[in-house]
Chain A
Amino acid sequence: MPGTSVPQNGDRVTTNGRSTPLAPGEPAPDFTLPAAHGDGTVSLTDYRGRNPVLLALFRGLY
C-alpha cells in the first residue's frame, strides 16, 4: 500500500477472535494499526500506564 506504514507481524492484534464482547474486568487486547488520520501507527500500548482510553470500533466506509 503506497505511503502506508504497515506494522510488522506481531505488531497487530495479538488476541484471537472471540464470540462474545469483552466485559468489564477483562484485559483489553493490545493492538498497533496503520494510522488512518495521518502517518505512523495507532497503538493502545502507547497509553498503558498513562491515560485511560475510550476505544471506538467503527465499520468501514460503506
Chain B
Amino acid sequence: MQLGQIAQKLEAMGVKTLGVVATDAERARLYFRFRRPRMPVGADPDLTTHRAYGLPNMPPPPEMWDAVERAAVRELKLPESPTGGAYQQLAHFDAYQVTTADNADFERHQAQLAGQFLIDREGIVRWVNVECAREGLDGIDRLPSDVEVLGAARAL
C-alpha cells in the first residue's frame, strides 16, 4: 500500500496527510514535477523535523545494503537473485537519476530512518510507526498497512 492511497482513504475520514522529504525544495520540486504527490510535502534538507520527532539516524550498517536490495525485490515482486541488481532495476523503473546533490544529502544524512505520526486536532501524537522498529532492517522502505493506519485514525 502506497502512502498516497492511504492518504486518500484518510481524507475521506477528515484526516489530512502531510509529508516531509529530506532534500532541498528545489530538487524536490523537480522530482515531484514528474511524480505529483497526493499530499502537501515540505522540504527539510537539514533533518530538523526528523530530529525533533526523534527518528533514528546512524552510520549505515554494512548489512543495510542487503536490506535495501531485499526491499527492492519486494517492491518489484521479483524472485530473489543471488546476483542482486533489484535496486538498480527499481531505479531504472523509477526513471530518476541520482545526482551529486542527492549523494551529498546521503553523506550528510547517513542512515536516516523514516516514520509516520498520527496527530490529533489538539496536536498530540496518538500513533507512531518508526521504520525498522518492528522487523529490524527487513522493515526498510516498508509502510504500515492501511488497516493499521485507518484503525488508528478511527480511534482518534
- Interface residues in chain A, defined as those with a beta carbon under 8 Å from any beta carbon in chain B: 1-4, 12-38, 41-42, 44, 47-62
**Residue-wise interface mask of B (121-138) relative to A, using a CB-CB cutoff of 8 A (1 in contact, 0 not):** 111111110100100000
Q: Which residues of A contact B120 (CB under 8 A)?
A: 52
CB of B7 closer than 8 Å to a CB of A? yes
CA distance A24 to B128 in the complex (A): 7
User: Chain A: which residue is nearest B48 at the CB level?
Assistant: A13
* B117-A36 in contact (CB<8A): no
Given contacts A33-B49, A57-B22, 17 further A-B contacts (CB under 8 A): A14-B52, A17-B48, A19-B54, A28-B119, A33-B44, A37-B39, A41-B42, A44-B123, A53-B118, A54-B153, A56-B114, A58-B20, A59-B109, A59-B114, A60-B106, A60-B112, A61-B98
- Count of B residues near A, CB < 8 Å? 68
A-B contact count (CB 8 A): 220
CA distance A13 to B117 in the complex (A): 16
Q: Which residues of A contact B56 (CB under 8 A)?
A: 21
Given A12-B48, A34-B43, A57-B49, verify A51-B21 contact (CB < 8 Å).
no
User: Chain B: which residue is nearest A21 at the CB level?
Assistant: B54
